[in-house]
Amino acid sequence: MKEPRVRVAGILVEDKNVLLIKQSKGDKFYWLLPGGGLDYGESFEQCLEREFMEETSLKIEADELIFVSESIAPDKSRHIVNLYFKVNLIGGEIKIGDEHNLLELKYMNIDEIENSTIYPNIKKELIEYIKNGCKQPAKLISSRWE
């Protein structure tokens, strides 16, 4: 029996811009929040700190939970639970990780977010979060698969 995959991602905001990473998968190119799969025995915070270091070379600390969403493929072949945390920058110099599918790191403003392909598609929620001054209670986002 297949089990859901848990992905932990961080929302790092600097001057109303959100750090996103461009990734390729086959012939698709899209942006996503830095983060990755939770390993067995690893806390959400440990996963987020590890993934941020691997993908961005930045040292961060996890803060509050902002969004929870899930992505279920129409054919039920994949089920991903996404946890999005506000993160605080501790240090480091931004540099893209070594994984071959990571293409670019970029702080995006609201207009760029609106005009980009972001997976899962949480553009509306990210923009609302920024416009609200990065303050809001945790929010459940309905299932999204694109």
pTM across the whole model: 0.91
Q: Looking at the predicted structure, is the pLDDT value of residue 86 above 80?
A: yes
- d(CA 74, CA 62) in angstroms, rounded, equals 32
CB 120, CB 144: distance < 8 Å: yes
CB 87, CB 10: distance < 8 Å: yes
- d(CA 74, CA 78) in angstroms, rounded, equals 9
| Residue 55, token pair as written in the block | 């993908």
SS3 per residue for the chain? CCCCEEEEEEECEECCEEEEEEEEECCEEEEECCEEECCCCCCHHHHHHHHHHHHHCCEEEEEEEEEEEEEECCCCCCEEEEEEEEEEEEECCCCCCCCCCEEEEEEECHHHHHCCCECCCCHHHHHHHHHCCCCCCCEEECCCCC
Percent of the chain with pLDDT over 70: 97
pLDDT single digits (tens) 114-144 = 999 999 999 999 999 999 888 877 776 777 6
pLDDT single digits (tens) 34-79 = 999 999 999 999 999 999 999 999 999 999 999 999 999 899 999 9
